[in-house]
Amino acid sequence: MRNAFSDGALTRGAAAEAARARRANWLPAAATEARVFGEPAEGDPEAGSGRSRATAMEDQREALRKIITTLAVKNEETQTFIYSLKQMLLNVEANSAKVQEDLEAEFQSLTSVLEELKESMLMKIKQDRASRTYELQNQLAACTRALESSEELLETANQTLQAADSEDFPQAAKQIKDGVTMAPAFRLSLKAKVSDNMSHLMVDFAQERQMLQTLKFLPVPSAPIIDLAESLVADNCVTLVWRLPDEDSKIDHYVLEYRKTNFEGPPRLKEDHPWMVVEGLRHTEHTLTGLKFDMKYMNFRVKACNKAVAGEFSEPVTLETPAFMFRLDGSTSHQNLRVEDLFVEWDAMGGKVQDIKAREKEGKGRTASPVNSPARGTPSPKRMSSGRGGRDRFTAESYTVLGDTLIDGGEHYWEVHFEPDSKAFGLGVAYRSLGRFEQLGKTAASWCLHANNWLQASFTAKHANKIKVLDSPVPDCLGVHCDFHQGLLSFYNARTKQLLHTFKAKFTQPLLPAFTGVTNNRFSQLQCLPPGLPS
């Protein structure tokens, strides 16, 4: 209290002195006020050092705040880790109890099997002993009776022989002779019916004991090896074959994973498509069916699992799935064809103005190209960026629509499904320069198969206005295989893989898939690989 009082007195004294100095113009007011409140006056050397101290204090406060934040984060991380450790301790207890229970159950199962085998084998020994005992006892009883009968007969014979001089001797001798002939001792076999050897029921479990001594915890399965030579990609299916590097009878099942990609070579860590999983496979071969090959490649990997743990994945492999992908270009279609990306059907009202306006109002104008369709995949570099334009739309009796992807090399395959009530339709390829009035197959710029299910059914191959009648029923699904460089265009029954017809030509321009049809015709494209290109 004394120091505080003294400090206050000095301050008041200093204030009074400052007031007198101001009146005498001896000290500037600002400096005086600063000193009154215990701060260095402006221009005073202590002012700069004061600001430096303030900056240093603020830096220290900021550093301390950072330390507090760091400590708070570290404390939270430590608390989370402590919780994780506690949870792991609980998991260790629970998992240990589970595996111990499983182990006891397995050994109990082994013990039960051994007990059952022991009882079964003991029963076999008891049954064999009882059977042999029964046979030997019966044979012993029979022999005993025969011996007694034989001894009686022997005694009678001796007595008769001693009375050989009697008148009854001949008769007695004859009776003894007959008795000997019928004696049981002469009808008995003196060989035991069964053996007393029980060696066939001896056991030696040395090998089994050695096997039991090798019992151990389940090992982690080895990573399988995918056999590319035996694997197959065809007909919208992928058959994958794999094997284990070492024989392992403990494998319970396999897990297969696959995903689509546009990149060749080893799988990348990040892909747009996730891994798809197929679990519970019991064999080292599996076929994925109903796939849509809308990307260039697929990645595959397999892992083996036993009852306890899964092994590492196999080395991933990449298989090529070069399906021909395209859409129907609505901007090329005849006005009486309704085009919806992968479908086309006859539309009798398509050319009427009110129908066109109604479609435009609904946002479903047929003139729109499917390029902007949300169902489209990644555009191909060969895919046309725009249609032929309204004035180039097929018209008159050319009820045609073209695909939107050019074929200028390589081999390509696609399939087309037709509705059962289709009356007339055709499919094939054409140059992009095919005239708007020209019908498919009637010019040198197009090749097609044409089916007519009207009053007189026909199935023909057409090119340059030349027709060849095909001796085959019209299938509901046709496959088209185009080998551009070889100049081959082949058509197949996609169901049976039967070759229907092959055009041989020298293609001088890029080709486009082409379709034509009238009345109740609706067909869809299915992308897939050629199924082994049947001949």
- Determine the structural domain holding residue 420 and report its residue range: 330-527
Phi and psi dihedrals of 418, rounded to 5? -115, 145
My answer on whether 455 and 348 are in the same domain is yes
Q: What local confidence, expressed as pLDDT, does residue 211 receive?
A: 85
Q: Number of folded domains in the chain?
A: 4
Within this chain, do residues 245 and 306 fall inside the same structural domain, yes or no? yes
The verdict on residue 435 lying in a domain is: yes
Cα separation, 100 vs 85, whole angstroms? 22
Per-residue pLDDT at 186? 77
For residue 374, the model assigns a pLDDT of: 30
Both 249 and 277 in one domain: the answer is yes
| Co-location of 316 and 382 in the same domain | no
Domain-located, residue 104: no
444 and 351, same structural domain? yes
Residue-level pLDDT at 368? 33
pLDDT confidence of residue 322 = 67
| CATH for 275 | 2.60.40.10
Last residue of a domain, one of 270, 300, 320: 320
Record the tokens describing residue 287, joined without a space: 């076929």
pLDDT at 335: 84
According to the model, what pLDDT value does residue 424 have? 85
Determine the pLDDT at residue 259: 93
What are the average pLDDT values for consecutive 10-residue runs of the chain, which has 535 residues? 39 49 44 42 60 86 92 93 92 90 90 92 93 92 86 79 74 77 78 88 88 81 92 86 85 93 82 90 92 85 89 91 77 82 74 45 39 32 45 78 88 83 88 91 95 86 96 90 94 91 96 79 45 44
- CA 503 vs. chain centroid, Å, equals 40
Whether the full predicted model's pTM is greater than 0.85, yes or no, is: no
* 518 strand-pairing partners: 424
- Give the DSSP per-residue string, 57-86: HHHHHHHHHHHHHHHHHHHHHHHHHHHHHH
Query: 305: Cβ–Cβ under 8 A, 6 or more apart, which residues?
Result: 221, 251, 252, 253, 254, 255, 311
Token code pair at residue 292: 């849509």
